[in-house]
């Protein structure tokens, strides 16, 4: 199967409102055609900060591994024709989980593909991009660690792409005041380890979540550009939108959701468990 990242031309006409509702979920409210969307689910992280001694995707949350929550959320949103999961290389248990989930997918559900992730998140994304089906027009890159992202966030991102965005990210207002700091020099180190060098205006700051949505060609170009970066520059790239910003292409922002938290530390896991035990379940509480 030729991959979308193989440089081959893609020539699929966007789905009409009627076609897309035949198994890919509701279309944009005003019947703009939705692009053919693949979701790249990056789940190849080690999860060391969670301290479970196993890849984060396997850590149980409300009785099911984190990966399964993330997969079910994507499928429930109905936006994807393909879901490509990047797993820790050689993790047979997670592969088996994906194989079993394929059997649960009804006709008209997305194609589920699995690839080995890489040593960094960006490498895992590139690995998955190289396995997308021909005809894919837009891609949503989503962290498996954001296992409770509500369907509404997927829909807002895809609707923005359908309206013409080449790149779109879900964001949340920042509640803390955020400052930039530098390490104190030798003379002041006994006073405090860091000193403030600036305060960003809070009303303009946003905390960025996933899924981040892109026109596929735009994201492929952005990732190709990374090849020219040195190690420090590459390490400073913490999300896909940053790569697109470097190209000078506008990155649009839509509302995220508080329950879309990235499960990183044991405290995050406690919060996620609490959300699942809430009276309506995590996905139904807009934050
Ligand atoms: O480590 P971090 O919190 O930035 O990870 C964000 C997401 O990227 C997680 O879902 C994780 O599984 C994924 N990841 C990956 N491959 C890596 C590192 C992280 O797929 N090498």
Does the Cβ of 36 fall within 6 Å of ligand 1?
A: no
- Between CA 78 and CA 27 the distance in angstroms is 9
Q: Which atom of ligand 1 lies closest to the CA of 70?
A: 10
- Cβ–Cβ < 8 Å for 50, 56: yes
Q: Are 257 and 152 in contact (CB under 8 A)?
A: yes
Alpha helices in 78-175 (DSSP H): 92-104, 121-129, 151-162
pLDDT of residue 281: 62
Question: Which pLDDT does position 227 carry in this prediction?
Answer: 77
Prior bond to 237 cis, omega within 30?
no
The closest of 182, 176, 181 to 205, measured between CA atoms, is: 176
User: Which residues, including other chains, have CB under 8 Å from residue 287's CB and lie 6 or more apart?
Assistant: 257, 258, 259, 260
- Verify whether ligand 1 is closer than 6 Å to residue 45 (CB atom): yes
Residue 73: which of 153, 168, 172 has the closest Cα? 153
Domain ranges of the chain: 14-169+207-284
Cβ–ligand 1 distance for 42 under 6 Å, the answer: yes
To the nearest 10 degrees (0 to 180), the angle between helices 151-162 and 66-77 is 50
| Ligand 1 pocket mutation pick from 39, 41, 44, 208 by most atoms within 8 angstroms of CB | 44
- The 3-state DSSP class for residue 162 equals helix
Cα 5 to Cα 8, 12, 77, 113: the distances in Å are 8, 15, 25, 15
pLDDT of 30? 56
Strand partners, 208: 171
C-beta of residue 219 within 8 angstroms of C-beta of residue 139: yes
Q: What is the pLDDT along the chain (287 residues), one digit of tens a residue?
A: 334 433 332 223 344 433 443 334 444 455 678 899 999 999 999 888 888 889 999 999 999 999 999 999 999 999 999 999 999 999 999 999 999 999 988 777 899 999 999 988 999 999 999 999 999 999 999 999 999 999 999 999 999 999 999 999 999 999 999 999 999 988 888 999 999 999 999 999 999 999 999 999 999 999 998 877 888 888 888 999 999 999 999 999 999 999 999 999 999 999 999 999 876 565 555 54
pLDDT tens digit sequence for 217-232? 999 999 998 877 888 8
Average pLDDT, the chain: 87
The CATH H-level superfamily of 14-169+207-284 is Spore Coat Polysaccharide Biosynthesis Protein SpsA; Chain A (3.90.550.10)
**Helix pair 66-77, 92-104: axis angle to 10 deg:** 30
């Amino acid at each position: 199967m030729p991959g979308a990242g193989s440089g081959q031309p893609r020539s699929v006409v966007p789905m009409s409102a009627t076609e897309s509702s035949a198994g890919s979920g509701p279309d944009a409210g005003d019947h703009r055609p939705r692009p053919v969307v693949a979701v790249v689910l990056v789940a190849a992280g080690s999860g060391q900060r969670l301290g479970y001694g196993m890849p984060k995707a396997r850590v149980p949350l409300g009785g099911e591994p984190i990966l399964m929550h993330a997969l079910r959320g994507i499928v429930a949103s109905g936006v994807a024709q393909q879901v490509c999961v990047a797993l820790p290389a050689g993790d047979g248990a997670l592969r088996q989980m994906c194989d079993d989930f394929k059997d649960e997918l009804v006709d008209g559900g997305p194609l589920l593909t699995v690839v080995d992730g890489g040593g960094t998140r960006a490498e895992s994304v590139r690995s998955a991009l190289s396995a997308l089906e021909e005809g894919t027009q837009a891609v949503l890159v989503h962290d498996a660690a954001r296992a409770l992202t509500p369907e509404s966030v997927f829909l807002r991102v895809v609707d923005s792409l359908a309206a013409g965005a080449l790149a779109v990210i879900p964001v949340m207002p920042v509640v803390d005041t955020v400052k930039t700091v530098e390490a104190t020099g030798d003379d002041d180190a006994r006073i405090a380890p860091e000193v403030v060098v600036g305060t960003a205006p809070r009303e303009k700051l946003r905390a960025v979540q996933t899924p981040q949505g892109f026109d596929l060609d735009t994201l492929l170009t952005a990732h190709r550009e990374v090849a020219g970066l040195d190690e420090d520059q590459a390490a400073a790239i913490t999300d896909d939108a940053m790569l697109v910003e470097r190209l000078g292409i506008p990155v649009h922002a839509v509302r995220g959701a508080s329950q879309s938290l990235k499960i990183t530390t044991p405290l995050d896991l406690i919060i996620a468990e609490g959300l699942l035990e809430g009276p309506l379940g995590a996905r139904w509480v807009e934050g």
